[in-house]
Each structure stands twice: as C-alpha cells, then as structure tokens.
Amino acid sequence: MPAPASPLLSLEALKVAYGGIQAVKGIDLIVGDGELVCLIGANGAGKTTTLKGITGLQPVQSGTVRYGGEDVTGLPAFQLVRRGLAMVPEGRGVFGGLTIEENLAMGAYVRQDRDAIRADIERVYGLFPRLKERRRQTAGTLSGGEQQMLAMGRALMSRPRMLLLDEPSMGLAPLMVQKVFETVLAVSREGVTILLIEQNAKLALEVSSRGYVMESGEITLAGDAKMLLHDPKVRAAYLGVGA
C-alpha cells in the first residue's frame, strides 16, 4: 500500500486494553495530511478503543501515537485539541443541559478570537439550518440526527487540522446518514484531515481515499478504498454481498 508522503497521524504498534481485555493488539495506521481515511470493522473489533487510545481517554499499554511529527502518546484529550486534533465521540456526546449555542461555544473553547468564533458559529448554522432555529434550546431536546449535526459542528468550531469521527452514522435514519456523509466529504474538501470510524463499511469506503479493516483488535486489511470496496473478503464480511 502506498503510504502517504507526509503522515499527520501515525499509530505504531499501538496496544490498548479495555476492561481487562486486549482490545487493540498492536496496530499500525497512518493518516496523511489532508487525507480522508476510514477504519471499518464489526462491532467489538476495537475501533472505538483505538480512538480512545489516541485521545488519551483510555491508557495506552505500549506503542506510539504520533501527531504532527510529535509523540503525543498518553497526552490528555484537552492538550490534543490545542494541537488541532478534534474528536466527535461515539454516541455524539453533546452537552444535553447546555443550549446549542453554548455547545458550539464550547467547541471553540481553545480559541480567543471572538469575532471569528461568531463568524464560525454562523458558518455551522449555514451548514445545519436546523441548529440555528433551535439555538436557544438545550441540546438534549434535539433528535439523534440533529445531535450528530451539533457534535460535528461543535468539533469544527475548534478549526481543527484533523478530525476523528467515531461512528457518525450510528442510530440515524437513512436520510440523516446521507446528510452526515455529505458533511464529512465537504469538511474533507476544505482540507481537514479525517479519520472516520464506521460500521457502515460501504458508505465509509465510498467517501474515503484509503481504508483499514479491523478484526479482533488487529488490522487485517488495508489499502485503497475503491480496491477494498471490491475486495471479495470485505464484500462478504462487511458489505453483505456473497463472495
């Protein structure tokens, strides 16, 4: 597989345990600057634990996380955000008791430029007009899809260089899933590097340039997304198509 010229994020032999189980068994993964890469796999394959290892939410046992040329292994999440690495967590994780606008303001917590923050909030509203209508409502009153919009908008508020997306399509109606993936592509085209974690392998591979397939804590396949999309093993295991 052709490795990207300048990797922004790279995992080297990363091992992470989750609840006493070796959930990530020493994986290597590279995301190049400006790339959209997906990590697909079945439920319980270790995808989310990988993300938690990257963002310091789960302690790393061994291996290295390198971001922007710097070893950031075990660094707490709040310091990664300050380096431009934002994450949209699984289950969205909006602050249900805060208003939509307050959620967005928290997304820009690391920034000081008030006017630009204001402008970016309007930009997110432009992307998701539903959010603007409900700006003064608490986020807990939003539907699942709207919460996903908010979570993505909030992550963009930090003006990240790289975005980690954990299962953005989970539990959403098909129309919403479509909208979410359109947004992912739009964000990617603006130059934000994205690592997308998905169970919906077909959609994920369609928008990505490269993909990694994870199984029982290990990377079993990696390569060009279009190639993976047509790989018989991938088709059989994740796309519901007989080999």
Partner 1 sequence: MDTFLQQIVNGLTLGSIYAIVALGYTMVYGIVQLINFAHGEVVMIGALTAYSVIVALTGAQVPLPAVAIVLVATMVAIPVCMAVGYTLERTAYRPLRRAPRLAPLITAIGLSIILQHLALIVWSRNPLPYPQIIHTVPYHLTGNPNGATITNVQIAIVVTSVAMMAGLVTLVYRTKLGIAMRAVAQNPSIAGLMGIDNNRVIALTFVIGAGLGAVAGVMVGSYYGIAHYQMGFLLGLKAFSAAVLGGIGNLAGAMLGGLLLGVIEALGAGYVGDLTNLCQLSGWFDALKVRCATDPNVTLFGSNYQDVFAFIVLILVLVFRPSGLLGERVSDRA
Candidates 73, 148, 158, 193; binder of partner 1 (CB under 8 A) is 158
Q: What is the distance between the alpha carbons of residues 15 and 25, in angstroms, rounded to a whole number?
A: 5
Asked whether position 153 contacts partner 1 by CB under 8 A, the answer is no
Asked whether position 55 contacts partner 1 by CB under 8 A, the answer is yes
DSSP state of 141: G
CB of 138 to partner 1, least distance (A): 11
Candidates 42, 57, 207, 227; binder of partner 1 (CB under 8 A) is 57
C-alpha distances (whole Å) from 194 to each of 39, 41, 123, 213, 242 are 11, 17, 19, 16, 30
> Which of the stretches 2-10, 71-79, 127-135, 169-177 binds partner 1 when contact is defined by CB under 8 A?
71-79
Candidates 82, 123, 189, 230; binder of partner 1 (CB under 8 A) is 82
Site string for partner 1, 8-47 (x = CB under 8 A): ----------------------------------------
Rg (CA), the chain: 17
Which stretch of DSSP H or E encloses residue 67?
strand 60-67
- Strands 70-71 and 85-88, how do they pair? unpaired
Closest CA to 170 of 57, 55, 92: 92
CB of 94 to partner 1, least distance (A): 8
Candidates 61, 64, 95, 134; binder of partner 1 (CB under 8 A) is 95
> Which of the stretches 65-73, 77-85, 124-132, 226-234 binds partner 1 when contact is defined by CB under 8 A?
77-85
> Which of the stretches 6-14, 60-68, 94-102, 188-196 binds partner 1 when contact is defined by CB under 8 A?
94-102
CB-nearer residue toward partner 1: 154 or 179: 154
DSSP state of 137: S
DSSP state of 209: S
Report the Cα–Cα distance between both ends of the chain, in Å, rounded: 23
Asked whether position 96 contacts partner 1 by CB under 8 A, the answer is yes
Q: Is 22 exposed, middle or buried (0-12, 13-18, 19+ CB in 10 A)?
A: middle
> Which of the stretches 35-43, 76-84, 205-213, 231-239 binds partner 1 when contact is defined by CB under 8 A?
76-84
H helical segments located in 108-192: 114-127, 129-133, 144-156, 174-189
> Which of the stretches 42-50, 64-72, 97-105, 225-233 binds partner 1 when contact is defined by CB under 8 A?
97-105
Q: What is the distance between the alpha carbons of residues 181 and 202, in angstroms, rounded to a whole number?
A: 12
Asked whether position 110 contacts partner 1 by CB under 8 A, the answer is yes
Site residues for partner 1 per CB under 8 A: 55, 57, 76-78, 81-82, 86-87, 89, 93, 95-98, 102, 105-107, 109-110, 154, 158
